Amino acid sequence: ETGVTQTPRHLVMGMTNKKSLKCEQHLGHNAMYWYKQSAKKPLELMFVYNFKEQTENNSVPSRFSPECPNSSHLFLHLHTLQPEDSALYLCASSQDRADEVTEFGPGTRLTVL
């Protein structure tokens, strides 16, 4: 059982909806990440938080808004998404850096209608 949990596991939303994805880790890690995996594309890094501070925003559109209230929780707020945003959204954590053993969550399968 992974130490990183994500909810919901599946989400279907319309383009005008507002929803949030939640990620939680109980590993004592200091770094947390949001990744997007679309079909037939490389895994894309979206956001990085280290000690609750955002250290990277990988040119992600503003309709995706991350929030990290503490080092164990990470949210991804979604607003006015497009159908091309449909993908698997993976949360991950590592002790401090991305090249350390990174634990991934099970992902949220998002479908935007």
- Interface ranges with another protein (CB under 8 A): 2, 4, 31, 40-45, 48, 50, 55-56, 58, 88, 90, 97-99, 101-102, 104-107
- Phi first, then psi, for residue 66 (nearest 5°) are -85, 160
Residues 6 or more apart in contact with residue 10 via CB below 8 angstroms: 108, 109, 111
Residue 14 CA: distances (Å) to CA of 56, 73, 79, 86? 28, 26, 10, 11
Q: Which is nearer to another protein, 54 or 82 (CB)?
A: 54
Across-strand partners of 5? 24
Q: How far is the CB of 31 from another protein (least distance, A)?
A: 7
Q: Least separation, in Å, of the C-beta of 82 and another protein? A: 22
- 55: tokens are 């250290």
Structure tokens at 22: 């939640």
Closest CB 50 distance from another protein, rounded Å: 7
Whose Cβ is closer to another protein: residue 91's or residue 112's? 91
Nearer to another protein, 1 or 84 (CB): 1
What minimum distance in Å lies between the beta carbon of 32 and another protein? 11
- The encoded tokens of residue 4 equal 């990183």
Of the two residues 50 and 85, which places its CB atom closer to another protein in the complex? 50
